[in-house]
Amino acid sequence: MKFQGFLALSLLGLSQIVMASSTDSYELTISNHQFEPTELIIPANTKVKLLVHNKDNSPEEFESHSLHREKIIGPNQSGVINIGPLPAGVYEFVGEFHEDTARGRIIVQ
């Protein structure tokens, strides 16, 4: 029983590694407190990774209320944000520390 549990867990772990390697990545850059690009198109019902590069000398908090995501990216650091699988739609995000300029959206289709 224990061995089977262990086997199942290892398989689960293995499948996650395989899945991780097949996950598509999208890049997002923050500079002058603005996102670039401001619009990303990702496929529906698919897990993707968002790599956010903060090129500013100050920290930023990537925040998306609709995506249930919030993450601080240090100055001149990069961060990974897991996204999806999501139903089709438009999901807005902001840089919480500079909300008036740092805005963008992810279009899932």
Partner 1 sequence: MLGTAIIIFREVLEAALIVSLVLAATRGIIGRTQWVMIGIGGGILGAILLAVVADSIAPLADGMGQELLNATILFFAVIMLTWHLLWMRKHAAEITHKVKHIGQAVSSGDKDPIILAFIIGLAILREGSEAVIFLYGLAAAGSNPSELLLGGGLGILSGIVAGSVLYLGVARIPVGKLFQVSGWLILLLTAGLASQAVSYLVQADLLPAFGYAIWDSSFLVSEQSIAGHVLHILVGYVDHPMGIQLLTYVLTIGLLGAAMYVMNQQQAKARG
Identify the residue among 53, 69, 103, 105 touching partner 1 (CB under 8 A): 69
Amino acid at site 70: E
Q: Are 39 and 103 in contact (CB under 8 A)?
A: no
Residues written for the chain: 109
The stretch near partner 1 (CB under 8 A) out of 1-9, 38-46, 75-83 is 75-83
Distance CA 32, CA 104 (A): 14
The SS3 assignment for 5 reads helix
Residue type, 62: F
13 binds partner 1 (CB under 8 A): no
Backbone angles phi, psi at 46, to 5 degrees: -135, 140
For partner 1, which stretch binds (CB under 8 A), given 2-10, 37-45, 51-59? 51-59
Q: What is the DSSP letter of 17?
A: H
55 binds partner 1 (CB under 8 A): no
Q: Select the span of 3-11, 34-42, 74-82 touching partner 1 (CB under 8 A).
A: 74-82
**74 binds partner 1 per the rule CB under 8 A:** yes
Q: Determine if 56 is a binding residue for partner 1 (CB under 8 A).
A: yes
Residues that bind partner 1 (CB under 8 A): 47, 56-61, 65-75, 77, 79-82, 86-87, 96-97, 100
